[in-house]
Amino acid sequence: MNRSQRTAAFIASRLASVALTIVGATLLLFLMVRLVPGDFTSVMLGPRATPELRAQITHDMGLDRNMIEQLWLFASRAATGNFGEDVVSRRPILDIVLDVIPNTLALAFSALALALIVGIPIGVIAALKPGSWLDSGLALLSISFITTPTLVVSVILFLIFAIGLHWLPVAGAGEPGDIADRLRHLILPSVALALGWVGYISRLVRAALLDTLAELHVRTMRAYGVSEYRIVGLYALKLALVPVVSILGIGLGDLIGSSVVVEIIFARSGIGSLIFNSIAQRNYPVVQACVVFIVAFYIVANLVVDMINALLDPRISGARR
């Protein structure tokens, strides 16, 4: 089997795995929501709701059917992108989710870009000075970034730069259509979300670059008088970035998941804040739709990364087929 056939077989197997994973995650989500104690309609409508209104909402949500019928209704609708109508706003749930997804994706991608832009140079500098005071200082800084919770970082940035210094907007996502204003509203949330991944990427780059620089052919290049910075810039860094590419899918999924805290603190409309508000209202159909989107995005992002790695390194497809 040649390289193209191995790559095609690997991609096909990953696509099948993605489909099964999404189906399994969707079914698990459905069962977990149904196991939550309490009456959905009573929490959503409050104690003053009439029995007639509760019965109507129960019927609209399909809760008056047995579990098998509810599962089939949910799975068949989810497969076509139809998550039903929100019983609170009377809008299609898909429209509600699609309204906020761009804000969350903008936050996640900007945080990931910031983590790469800052984390890679820190890792390179640390690898070029192993064992030095600079390496130790950057290691301490990176570990501090990794171990500091996103909640704490968000609150600190919010209090200092928004409340204290008034340099950046306090809350919101900015005026629609005003790119400059939306970018200003994106700075603090992106930094808060990216900080942990700055530390993680910097440590990953440092370790990978040190391993590459210790290889025999690199020592041979040094023996021929090739400068260290030329070796790093033209050869070693490219190999050291392969592990970084491998974790980009996981990074995006983690950033989207962590956006819940950031969006709540900075009062940004997004899928994280939508999940939080929907849980508070016991509006579980909206929660299910949001989680399905997050799971699907996470899995597809990792699939894309696997495909890129398989195309760049044929050993991956050959090992996993």
Q: Structural domain of residue 121, as residue ranges?
A: 100-312
Which pair of tokens denotes residue 127? 């690898």
Q: Is residue 105 located within the same domain as residue 70?
A: no
In the chain, what is the straight-line distance between the N-terminal and C-terminal CA atoms, in Å? 11
Tell me the mean pLDDT in the region 214-227.
Answer: 81
Q: Determine, yes or no, domain membership for 90.
A: no
Q: Determine, yes or no, domain membership for 86.
A: no
Q: Determine, yes or no, domain membership for 113.
A: yes
pLDDT at site 261: 87
pLDDT (tens digit, 9 = 90+) per residue, 6-46? 667 766 777 777 778 777 877 787 777 777 666 666 666 66
Q: Is residue 159 located within the same domain as residue 32?
A: no
Phi/psi of residue 191, each to 5°?
-65, -45
Q: Is residue 75 located within the same domain as residue 145?
A: no
Q: Determine, yes or no, domain membership for 231.
A: yes
pLDDT at site 109: 92
Residue among 203, 201, 199, 197 nearest 111 (CA): 197
d(CA 179, CA 198): 25
Confidence at 273, pLDDT banded by 50, 70, 90 = confident
pLDDT (tens digit, 9 = 90+) per residue, 100-122? 998 999 999 999 999 999 999 99
Are the C-beta atoms of residues 96 and 274 closer than 8 Å to each other?
yes
Question: Does the pLDDT of residue 57 top 90, yes or no?
Answer: no
What percentage of the chain has pLDDT greater than the value 70? 88
Q: Determine, yes or no, domain membership for 68.
A: yes
Are the C-beta atoms of residues 169 and 183 closer than 8 Å to each other?
no
Q: Determine, yes or no, domain membership for 95.
A: no
